[in-house]
Structure 1
Amino acid sequence: MNASLSQLTPNQSPDRLSILHLPHLSHFPPVRRAANSAENSAVSAGTEDYAQRQHAHVLLNCYAREVAMQEHHLAVRAIAHTILPPAALHQYQGQVLDIQLPRMQSRLCVGVRHVSVTGNYDYTTDIYLQDNQQDWAVAGWHEIAHLIISDLSLREGTPYNADLLQQIEESIATMQHLLDAQQNPVGMHHVGTALQHYIRSEQHLLTGHPFHPTPKSRSGWTAAEEKKYSPEHGVQLQLRYVQLPLKWIISDTLDVGNLPKRLQQLTAHGLLADAEHVILPLHPWQADWLLQQPRIRAAVAAGDMRDLGLAGKQFYPTASIRTMLAEDGSAFLKLSLNLRITNCIRNNARHELAAALAASRLYRPIKAEMQALFPDFHALEEQAYISVAFPEDQQQNHRQHKELEDGFGLVLREGLSPQMAQGITPMICASLFGNGQAGRLQVAALIERYAHRHGLPLKQGMHVWFSTYARLAIYPVFYLLFEKGIAFEPHMQNSVIGMADDDTPARFIVRDLELTRLTPKAHALIPPLQLDAHTRQEICCSDEAGWTRIAYCLLVNNICEVIATLANGNHELYLDLWACLRNILQAYLASFPNPEAVRRIQGLLSGEPLPVKGNLLIRFLKQADRKAAYLPLYHPLGVVNGVSPLL
Structure 2
Amino acid sequence: MSKEQLIDPLKGHAWLEEGSPSPSLLARREMLSRILNAYLRETGQHDPYFTDSRLPNISLAIRLPSIGQIVYGSLLHRSLAGHHVYGENLYASEIERQHPDDRKALSFEEAVALLLDDIALSQQGSSHDAMAQKIQLQQMVTNSLQHMESYLEHAYVSGPPASLDFNAAEQALLCGHPFHPTPKSLEGFSSADSLAYSPEYGVTFPLSCFAAAPEWIGEDWLDPADGASDASWIPAEMREAAHRFLPPERSHHVLLPCHPWQAGYLRSLESVQKLLAEGHLVDLGSTGPAVVPTSSVRTVWNPKDRCFYKLSLHIRITNFIRENNEEQLLRTLDASSIVASIKERWQSRRFQILLEKGYRTLEPPQASAPTRREQLMSGFSMIVREAPDEVGSAPGIPYVIASLMEVLPGEREPLLFRAVRESKQAGSGGEVDTNFQPDWQAWFREYAELTVAPMLRLYAETGISLEAHVQNSMLRLHDGKPSSFIVRDLEGISVNRELAEQQGWVGTIVQRDSPVLYSEEQARHRLKYYFFVNHLSHVVQRLAYYSGQSEMPFWHIASRTLERLREQALPGSLLEHIVCDLLTVPTLPAKANLLSRFHQRGETPLYVDIPNPMRVKE
Specify the code of the residue in structure 2 equivalent to 1:283: H
Residue 27 and residue 367 in structure 1: after superposition, are their counterparts in 2 closer, same or farther (change >3 A)? farther
Asked whether the equivalents of residues 111 and 124 of structure 1 are also in contact (C-alpha less than 8 Å), the reply is yes
Specify the code of the residue in structure 2 equivalent to 1:547: R
Report the CA distance between 1:23 and its aligned residue.
4.4
Asked whether the equivalents of residues 167 and 294 of structure 2 are also in contact (C-alpha less than 8 Å), the reply is yes
- Out of 72, 82, 89, the residue aligned to residue 119 of structure 1 is 82
Q: SS state of the match for residue 45, structure 2?
A: helix
Match of 1:14 in 2: none
Report the CA distance between 1:291 and its aligned residue.
0.7
Alignment of 1:199-598 (within 5 A): 199-255=167-223, 257-259=225-227, 260-262=229-231, 265-266=234-235, 268-269=237-238, 270-272=240-242, 273=246, 274-328=250-304, 330-371=306-347, 375-391=349-365, 394-395=366-367, 398-417=370-389, 423-433=395-405, 440-446=413-419, 461-500=439-478, 502-524=479-501, 525-531=505-511, 533=513, 536=514, 538-568=515-545, 572-593=549-570, 595-598=573-576
Q: C-alpha deviations, 1:478-504, integer Å up to 9, x for none?
A: 11211111111000000000112x111
Match of 1:110 in 2: 73
Unmatched runs of 5 consecutive residues or more in structure 2: none
Q: How many Å separate the matches in 2 of 1:588 and 1:460?
A: 26
Q: How many Å separate the matches in 2 of 1:333 and 1:50?
A: 33
Q: SS state of the match for residue 22, structure 2?
A: helix
Report the CA distance between 1:630 and its aligned residue.
1.8
- Out of 123, 137, 157, the residue aligned to residue 156 of structure 1 is 123
Q: How many Å separate the matches in 1 of 2:583 and 2:96?
A: 44
Report the CA distance between 1:114 and its aligned residue.
3.5
Q: Percent identity?
A: 27
Cα RMSD, aligned residues only: 3.1
Alignment of 1:605-644 (within 5 A): 605-606=583-584, 608-625=586-603, 627-638=604-615
Specify the code of the residue in structure 2 equivalent to 1:271: A
Q: SS state of the match for residue 179, structure 2?
A: coil
Specify the code of the residue in structure 2 equivalent to 1:174: H
Specify the code of the residue in structure 1 equivalent to 2:530: C
Report the CA distance between 1:329 and its aligned residue.
7.2
Asked whether the equivalents of residues 433 and 439 of structure 1 are also in contact (C-alpha less than 8 Å), the reply is no
Residue 397 and residue 471 in structure 1: after superposition, are their counterparts in 2 closer, same or farther (change >3 A)? farther
Q: C-alpha deviations, 1:2-29, integer Å up to 9, x for none?
A: xxx9668xxxxxxxxx77897448889x
Asked whether the equivalents of residues 484 and 521 of structure 1 are also in contact (C-alpha less than 8 Å), the reply is no
Residue 47 and residue 114 in structure 1: after superposition, are their counterparts in 2 closer, same or farther (change >3 A)? closer
Report the CA distance between 1:513 and its aligned residue.
0.2
Q: How many Å separate the matches in 2 of 1:622 and 1:384?
A: 31
Match of 1:76 in 2: 49
Give the TM-score, by structure 1 length.
0.83
Specify the code of the residue in structure 1 equivalent to 2:176: G
Report the CA distance between 1:153 and its aligned residue.
1.7
- Out of 53, 60, 69, the residue aligned to residue 97 of structure 1 is 60
Q: SS state of the match for residue 99, structure 1?
A: strand
Q: C-alpha deviations, 1:345-392, integer Å up to 9, x for none?
A: 000112211221222221223223213xx541000011110111223x
Q: C-alpha deviations, 1:608-646, integer Å up to 9, x for none?
A: 211100111110001133x112211113323699xxxxx
Q: SS state of the match for residue 514, structure 1?
A: helix
Specify the code of the residue in structure 2 equivalent to 1:602: C
Q: SS state of the match for residue 271, structure 1?
A: helix
Q: SS state of the match for residue 76, structure 1?
A: coil
Match of 2:146 in 1: 173
Match of 1:128 in 2: 91
Q: SS state of the match for residue 287, structure 2?
A: strand
Q: How many Å separate the matches in 1 of 2:613 and 2:262?
A: 46
Specify the code of the residue in structure 2 equivalent to 1:427: Y
Match of 1:37 in 2: none
Q: How many Å separate the matches in 1 of 2:396 and 2:417?
A: 20
Q: How many Å separate the matches in 2 of 1:55 and 1:7?
A: 21
Give the TM-score, by structure 2 length.
0.87
Q: How many Å separate the matches in 2 of 1:566 and 1:560?
A: 10
Specify the code of the residue in structure 2 equivalent to 1:411: I
Residue 413 and residue 139 in structure 1: after superposition, are their counterparts in 2 closer, same or farther (change >3 A)? same
Asked whether the equivalents of residues 210 and 434 of structure 1 are also in contact (C-alpha less than 8 Å), the reply is no
Asked whether the equivalents of residues 68 and 99 of structure 1 are also in contact (C-alpha less than 8 Å), the reply is no
Moved more, 509-518 or 250-259: 250-259
Asked whether the equivalents of residues 208 and 436 of structure 1 are also in contact (C-alpha less than 8 Å), the reply is no
Q: C-alpha deviations, 1:512-555, integer Å up to 9, x for none?
A: 0011111133332121135484xx1x211111111111111111
Residue 205 and residue 435 in structure 1: after superposition, are their counterparts in 2 closer, same or farther (change >3 A)? farther
Moved more, 112-121 or 502-511: 112-121
Moved more, 310-319 or 109-118: 109-118
Q: SS state of the match for residue 210, structure 1?
A: coil
- Asked if 1:144 corresponds to 2:115, the answer is no
Residue 258 and residue 122 in structure 1: after superposition, are their counterparts in 2 closer, same or farther (change >3 A)? closer
Specify the code of the residue in structure 2 equivalent to 1:442: L
Matched positions, count: 585
Q: How many Å separate the matches in 2 of 1:55 and 1:210?
A: 9
Report the CA distance between 1:144 and its aligned residue.
2.4
Match of 1:599 in 2: 577
Q: How many Å separate the matches in 2 of 1:411 and 1:288?
A: 19
Specify the code of the residue in structure 1 equivalent to 2:574: E
Report the CA distance between 1:100 and its aligned residue.
1.1
